[in-house]
Amino acid sequence: MRPLRRLTADLHPHVLTISLMTLVIMMGSSVISPVLPLLAQELGVSYAGAGALVSAFAIGRIPFDCIGGALVDRLRPRLIASGGAAIVTLSAVLSAYADSFLVLLWYRLIGGVGSALFVITAMAFLARTVDPQRMGQAMSFYQSMLLLGVSLGPTIGGGAAHVFRSLHAPFWVMAVLSLAVTAMCLRWIGEFPAASPAPHSQVLSHTSQPALLAALFCNPTFLFVCVLTLLIFAIRSGLTLNLMPLFTQATLGLSETGIGLIQSLCSLANFCVLWHAGRLLDRIGRRRVTLPTLWATVGVVLLFPWATGLVPLIGVSIAFGIVIGYLGPAPAAIIADITPKESAGLVMGIYRMAGDVGLLLGPIAVGWVAGHLGFGLAFATIAGCTALVALMGIGLRETLTPQEARIPIAEEPSTSSSPSPHGSSLPQTPSFGGGRARESTPRSH
């Protein structure tokens, strides 16, 4: 416990609270993963039907990432977070009683809506609470708890199905865990802390959403982070969950147990470096972690076609888990750096939507390339896309600076504002790259 206290000593109490709730709700969301294919067969559909059950959850999340983000900026975060967890609870209970595939599909879609509302509130709370000099550590700790929950869930779900001899039992476990998170939200989530507006952004009450969206999509840093997030989620789901099992079975003939072991080692390596990745992001800056790690990812992915033995494949899989572990927290830290505090919900919603799109499309795209063009070209395609994103980030400047890095928003006319010579305040658009992290900030060790 003493090493854990030392690692979390610099974290804001809200980070620990939000991360704990995320661990529990993600554990609940993943308990059903071992039984979905079996349940799909029981309901008379193919393996593709099981894939549709997974996709329905993601499809429910995508539109409500943005909708939930906009709601978070206007309503009480306690209401949105507890409401999202309650919707997941309701979805799980209804799914436990589902007697047809189509009905279960709709209930999974509803569960995705609730998950989106909770996750967006959690990330907006972190963005509005944590100091920029601790944001990397906060996001890495948050992601480590998310990963731990996703990793533990299938074991719990499989055990519940075995003990109660029912494929519906994991849904009741999911309902109990989500209900616990609902109560935790009502007890522990309060109001957003008051934030002073950045010099180059206006408070939300003086800024319309169209003005904010226009500023976002004209900002090269924001666009880079969205593309980077889509890439990370796509290669995580496409390579780890789809291409790696297919490649392993085709080249080594491993069983499901062997494939699961390799995936677990990859996830374990990812988990082990996340906290160090967060400290590096806060110590040397976002750019100096992100760009080298992108190029390292290119190199590791290109090694997969050559890993035709068990030991080399395990080594490359662990290396992949390490580079993704260092890359994973960077986009969240960058987006928090540039986000006006009063608009954290909407900005985080768009950021999360990019990730969910990648999560949905990654396995499909990678699977198609592998099936039609072979494994070698599938790995080369992933490496090529990663290299393109790395090239996209070369000219961008560091965001670990004071509030100057935040997204500028045009000031709308108001009685309290003085007109600028050109009719509106449009500061220079910030970028991400080239500069140094702020030297005057005390470093954390």
Q: How far apart are CA 221 and CA 213, in angstroms?
A: 14
CATH class assigned to 199-439? mainly alpha
- The residue among 3, 22, 9 whose CA lies nearest residue 352 is 22
Task: Give the per-residue pLDDT at 178.
Answer: 95
pLDDT in tens, 159-186: 888 889 888 999 999 999 999 999 999 9
CA–CA gap between residue 341 and residue 198 (Å, rounded): 8
Which whole-number Å values give the CA distances from 73 to 34, 200, 339, in the listed order? 36, 19, 12
pLDDT, tens digit (0-9, with 9 covering 90-100), for 3-35: 555 556 667 788 889 999 999 999 888 888 778
Residue spans in the chain of domains classed CATH 1.20.1250.20 = 12-190, 199-439
The most confident of the ranges 187-201, 214-228, 410-424 is 214-228
Q: How far apart are CA 427 and CA 267, in angstroms?
A: 42
Say yes or no to pLDDT of 156 above 50.
yes
CATH architecture assigned to 12-190: Up-down Bundle (1.20)
Distances (CA, A) of 174 to 20, 56, 87, 261, 263: 16, 17, 12, 25, 23
Contacts of 296 (CB under 8 A, 6+ apart): 323, 326
- The C-alpha atoms of residue 437 and residue 398 are separated, in whole angstroms, by 6
Q: Is the pLDDT of residue 116 over 90?
A: yes
Taking only the tens place, the pLDDT of each residue in 347-391 is: 889 999 999 999 888 888 888 888 888 899 999 999 999 999 999
Predicted pLDDT at 198: 42
Residue 6 CA, chain-centre distance (Å), reads: 25
Residue 250: pLDDT band with limits 50, 70, 90: confident
Give the C-alpha distances (Å, rounded to integers) separating 16 from 56, 279, 400.
Answer: 30, 16, 22
- The pLDDT score that the predictor gives to residue 213 is 77
